[in-house]
Amino acid sequence: MTSARYFPDLTGPQVAERLTAKSILVQPLGAIEQHGPHLPLSTDSVIATAVAQAAVARVGDELDVWLLPTLEYTKSNEHAWSPGTVWLSATTLLAVLDDIGRCVATTPTKRLVFFNGHGGNSALLNVANRELRLAHGLMTFLTHPGVPPDQGGASPATELGMGVHGGTDETALMLHVAPHLVQMDKAQRRVPEAIANNKYVRFGGRVSFGWMSNDFFPEGYIGDPTAATAELGKQLFDGAVLGFCDALREIAAFNFGRNA
C-alpha cells in the first residue's frame, strides 16, 4: 500500500516531524486460517485491511490517523487442525504486541488502536490493551469491523445467532471486497442448531466455552454462506467504515473523562 497516511512510507525524520501526541496509529490484525472450502485463508486479513484503509483515507487528515501494516499471523489455534492455518501461540502473540507497543512508544504519539478482523484474537488483545498501558504508557484501544457473534454481536436470523466463522456476513464482505477469492459453488449452510436454543451455553451466551472450528462440522466453518450477496457485503462494508470513523473521532478526543 502507498498512501499519504501509511506509516511505513514515512522516513525516520518524518516520524518526528509529522506525528504529535494527538496522532493515532491503527494496527489492523487479521489471520491466516481455514475458512471452509468457499473462502481463502486470508479472509480476516483482507476484510480488516480494506475497512481500515477506507476509514483512514476518510478521516486520516481530520484526525491525524496513520495506518500500520496488517499483522496477519495471529492466534488462530481453533483452526490448528487444518493444513494452511498459520498461527501464533498466545504467549508469542502477546510478546509481539508488547514489542509493537514498545516501538510505538518511541514515537510522539501515545494512541494505539488495534483493529481486529479475527474474533479469536479479541480476548488476548484486551489483555494486551492493559499490558501496553502499564508497560509503555500508551492509550490503547480495541475495535472490530463488526462485533463477532460469539462476543455478543448479531448474525442474520437464518444463522440463529451462530454465524461465527465463514458465514453470511463474512462471505458477503468478501464478495464485495475480493469476489475473485470466493467460491460460492462450494458454500453450504452449516449452523449448529442443537446449541442455538440454549439460554446460556451458546455463541454469545453468558457461559462461554472452549471450541475448535471442526467441533461442529468437519468443514470447519459455522454459519450460512449461501445467503451472502455482494450487495449485502457493500452494506456491511460501508457500515463498518462509518462505524470505525466514528470510533476514531471518539478515540481522538478520549482522555479518561479528565478535563483537557
Q: What pLDDT digit, counting tens, does each position of 68-84 carry? A: 999 999 999 999 999 99
- Does 37 map to a domain? yes
Burial class (CB in 10 A: 0-12, 13-18, 19+), 97: buried
Q: Is the pLDDT of residue 1 over 60?
A: no
CATH of residue 206: 3.40.50.10310
Residue 177 belongs to a domain: yes
Continuous segment of H or E residues that includes residue 113: strand 111-116
| Number of domains forming the structure of the chain | 1
Distance CA 151, CA 142 (A): 13
Q: How far apart are CA 89 and CA 132, in angstroms?
A: 18
Instruction: Examine residue 260 and state whether it is found in any structural domain, yes or no.
Output: no
2 pLDDT more than 80: no
Q: Is residue 166 part of a domain?
A: yes
Share of the chain above pLDDT 70, in %: 98
Report residue 95 as a C-alpha cell.
Answer: 510478546
256 falls within a domain: no
| Domain hosting residue 30, numbered range | 7-250
SS3 (DSSP) at 46: helix
* Residue 33, in any domain of the structure: yes
How high does pLDDT run on average in the chain? Answer: 95
pTM for the model stands at 0.95
pLDDT tens digits along 207-222: 999 999 999 999 999 9
